[in-house]
A = this chain, B = another copy of it.
């Protein structure tokens, strides 16, 4: 594999950045090369095609980038948490709070994944950022917690989907006020804290 030149890398980042912006504002279906180029201040769509093999290729990099940003925020928060319950709470809270930190990234990510799932976009092959599989990662974590007695009895597959879906739903609503975002993050974490609690009546 050939290393990428500096200018090459800069251009790609510029384009990816514009694509994220457009995805967040206009949605996947309205994210065209023309609009991305205009947003990036480029004069033609040819530039994009020159730097990316495909639209799919561009979207894949959008996915990688947004995932990296998300990971940079969520990862440390999760690792700093202690215990299975703490980690679940940290995951949910930090995910929702992303909406205040990097709203465009969150919405762009949502758009790409949603389109990819719907099949309308050929989507992104091979789950390049490991993000499509965030459900299964979560599921595994829940299963581990159950084994250790930190969680009660429930179907981890269902719970993982529920958590993911609930986060996505909250994140889909644009919110300006960071305080409100933090409040919702905590609330949602509470919801699943109760839902995953071990049996409460040990009598």
Interface residues of A (CB under 8 A from B): 2, 25-31, 43, 111, 114-115, 117-121, 152, 154-155, 158-159, 161-170, 172-173, 183-184, 187-188, 190-192, 194-195, 197, 200
Instruction: Specify how many copies of this chain sit in the oligomer.
Output: 4
Q: Is the CB of B169 within 8 A of A165?
A: yes
The 7 A-B residue pairs with the shortest CB-CB distance, nearest first, are A165-B169, A27-B120, A29-B120, A27-B118, A162-B166, A165-B165, A195-B195
The residue on B at minimum CB distance from A162 is B166
* Residues of chain B with a CB closer than 8 A to A29's CB: 28-29, 115, 118, 120-121
Q: How far is the CA of A51 from the CA of B188 in the complex (A)?
A: 45
Task: Name the prevailing secondary structure of the A interface residues.
Answer: helix
Q: How far is the CA of A168 from the CA of B163 in the complex (A)?
A: 11
The listed residue (B118, B158, B170, B191) touching A187 by CB distance below 8 A is: B158
Q: How far is the CA of A152 from the CA of B195 in the complex (A)?
A: 13
Q: Is the CB of B120 within 8 A of A159?
A: no
A164 and B154 in contact, given A119-B25, A195-B192 (Cβ under 8 angstroms)? no
The residue on B at minimum CB distance from A165 is B169
Q: Is the CB of B154 within 8 A of A190?
A: yes
The residue on B at minimum CB distance from A29 is B120
* Residues of chain B with a CB closer than 8 A to A121's CB: 27, 29
The listed residue (B27, B111, B114, B162) touching A191 by CB distance below 8 A is: B162
